Each structure stands twice: as structure tokens, then as C-alpha cells.
Amino acid sequence: MDSKCYIGIDIGSISTKGVVIDSNNNIIASKYLWTEGSPINATKNVVSSLKEQLDNKNICKDVYGIGTTGSARNLIGTILNANLVKNEITAHAIGTLSRYPDTKTILEIGGQDSKLIIIRNGVVVDYAMNTLCAAGTGAFLSSQAKRLGIEIEQLGKIALSSKNPTKIAARCTVFAESDLVHKAQIGHSKEDIVAGICKAVVNNYLNNLAKGKSIEDKVIFQGGVSKNVGVVEAFKKALNKEVYVDKDSHLMGALGVAILSKNINKNGNKLNFDFNIKDIDFKTIGTECKGCPNNCEIVNIYKDGKLIDKMGGRCDKGNQITKIS
């Protein structure tokens, strides 16, 4: 049996996702956990969990590709010595297309980003991404869930039990929040408010990203928020279309980047990758470059006390590693 495997890690603002695939793009191990503000620790945990799963299944682990994506892709790419670092849009499109080749529209709502990817004939032709504010993303949902004293996982189910969703201003998270408090105080029930929040997320998404873009079948909805059945229902109603959610919808970015790392490794060299990354000590120290008045923030990455990379500078002045001989 072919023992080659490929790793894809998607480090988002809220959650970190990891998959291991075989040469036929089948997911043989996967992990999903909260980033909790520490992408390095989250990645360590994801990798060791992947290793455990592979050990349990007794699969040989020869890594031929490592890809990273998500907002911390550069940092984690350096730490894992990845052969591919790719943006989320391409990664998500590739991941989804591998499962649904006839996709025409991908709706994606993550922790802080929301994206709309338009695909025609298997090629991405256009995309839109939220600009300055994170209104109507996963972060909004989780903060509102906390406010209402509901577990985020329960939010979708509660929303489905409502018959008459409350109208909530969707334009801005701050306004939405005060609107929500107000609606609760004049006596709207919790289910109706929760359903209203889900509807607000969808309206915000369609008003901000989808304006002027044609959403055609087949529509795939993914990202962390796609696990919320309330939002899925609201999308179906608003678009008047079937909206598909894959069982691995939260893993599509990681899957896509794993596939890309497979495609890029054409000579088929085995990568030097250690699954026992948990035992390695990674440290990052932020400094300010004093080279010019821009004062770029430089992040220094140390592996077991040794400086391996610097990044964050706008020019090479701050990013150069002074070799200590």
C-alpha cells in the first residue's frame, strides 16, 4: 500500500484545523480545536493528536507534503518547515472542489473573516471578503451566545425551535448588540432572539459580500459557522436555494492546502518532519526594528533557544538574521 501522507494545517483566528490525507485525498486523520490566542500551542496539540490517530490506525507515516493556511500561516509554516504556505481562498476552493467538482458558489464564514467564492467550470473566477469589520462572523455569534448564556454549540438548535425570528439590525455588531438587549427587555423570547441573530448574520453576509454577485447552484456553505444549523436554515430561506454543508465543512481549508502540498511536491522527496513537535520548544519574541521611523514590529522565532526566523518587517533590514558564528 502507498504509505505517503500529506498534512494540511489551517490556523484561524478562533480555531485550528489539521488533516492528514493519503495520495487519493482521503482524510485519514483530522483534528479541530480552539486556537485560544496561541497558534503555536494549538498547532502542537493538533499535530500530536494527528500522530495518535495515525498510531491507532497503524498507518505508516512518511510525510511528503506539509501545507499551512489561515491567518497564522506564515508563522506556523516556518515552525513546521512547510513546503507550501497558501492563502485561505485558494485553499478552500481546492478543498471543496475535490469533493464537489460541480460547485459554483462557496459561502464561508469563519471566526473573523467571511468570504464568498464564485467558481465557474472548476475555476475560481471571483471572490469577496469582508473588508474592515468582523460584523456577522463567528466572533459575533460566540460573543452573543455568551451574553445570552447559551453554549455556542447549542445556538443552532435553539434557533430552529423559533417560529417568529426577532428582527435585529445586522449592519454593525455593536448596534446589533444594543438592539438585542433592547429586544430582550421588551419581552422577546430567547429562541426568537437566537433565530434573529442567525438571520442577522446571513443578512449581513448577503448585504456586504454578495451584493452584485450572482449566487448559482450548487451552493456549498463551510467554515466554523456552517456547523450552526440555524444559520444554514436562514441561508436556505434567504437564497431560496439548497445549501449543502459537508460533514467535514470545517476542515475544507486544511484539506485544500494538503492537496496543494501534494501537487507541489513533484519530485516526490520525503520531507524531514518530526511528529514529536510537542517536545520542541518554540518561542516568539516581538521586537521593534529601529532601522527607520516606521518602527516595524518584528517577530523573532526561536526553536530550542536558537533563532530560526524573523518576520514582520516591511523591508529586509529587520528581517535579516544576523548569523552568530
Partner 1 sequence: MKIGIPRGLGIYEYPILFVNFFKYLGIEVVMSDKSNNKILKDGIDNSLIESCLASKIFIGHVANLVKRSKEEKIDYIFIPRLCTFENNQTICVKFFAIYDICKNIFNAKFLTLNLDYEKNKTELNAFLKLGKKLGKSKPQVIKAYLKARKMQKIYDKKKYIEQTEKILLNDKKLKVLIVAHPYVLYDEILGKRIIKILEDNNVELIYANINSLTMQNPKIFKWIRTKDSEYINISKSIFWKSSRNILNGVGTNINNVDGIIYISVFPCGTDSLVNELTIRKTKNIPSLNLVLDEQDADVGINTRIESFIDILEMNKNKNMRISG
| Cβ atoms of residues 116 and 128 within 8 Å | yes
Whether 254 and 182 have beta carbons less than 8 Å apart is answered as: no
C-beta of 292: minimal distance to partner 1 in Å? 7
Residue 104 CB partners (closer than 8 Å, separation 6+)? 118, 119, 120, 216, 217, 218, 219
Closer to partner 1 at the Cβ: 9 or 97?
97
At closest approach, how far in Å is the CB of 87 from partner 1?
4
CB of 113 to partner 1, least distance (A): 8
Q: How far is the CB of 81 from partner 1 (least distance, A)?
A: 20
> Measured from the CB of residue 62, what is the shortest distance to partner 1 in angstroms?
21
- Residue 272: strand, helix, or coil: coil
As measured in angstroms, the least distance from the Cβ of 267 to partner 1 is 19
Question: Judged by CB, which is closer to partner 1: 194, or 255?
Answer: 255
d(CA 257, CA 263): 10
Distance of CA 35 to the CA centre of its chain: 10
Closest approach of partner 1 to the CB of residue 155, in Å: 27
Instruction: For residue 239, report the phi and psi dihedrals to the nearest 5 degrees.
Output: -90, -15
- Closer to partner 1 by CB, 21 or 277: give it: 21
Burial (CB < 10 A; 0-12, 13-18, 19+), residue 123, is: exposed
Classify burial at 181, counting beta carbons within 10 Å of its beta carbon; exposed 0-12, middle 13-18, buried 19 or more: exposed
C-beta of 110: minimal distance to partner 1 in Å? 12
Task: Using the minimum distance from each CB to partner 1, give the nearer residue, 266 or 323.
Answer: 266
Pick the closer one to partner 1 by CB: 108 or 191: 108
Angle between helix 88-99 and helix 252-264 axes, rounded to 10 deg:
90
Rounded to whole angstroms, what are the CA distances from 307 to 74, 142, 310? 16, 37, 8
Residue 108 vs 192, nearer CB to partner 1: 108
For partner 1, the closer CB: 99 or 218: 99
Q: Got the DSSP string for 232-267?
A: HHHHHHHHTS-EE--TTGGGHHHHHHHHHHHHH--S
Residues that bind partner 1 (CB under 8 A): 25, 71, 74, 86-90, 94-95, 97-99, 101, 121-127, 129, 131-132, 212, 259-260, 263, 292-295, 314
Residue with smaller CB distance to partner 1, 130 or 203: 130
CA 269 to chain centre: 28
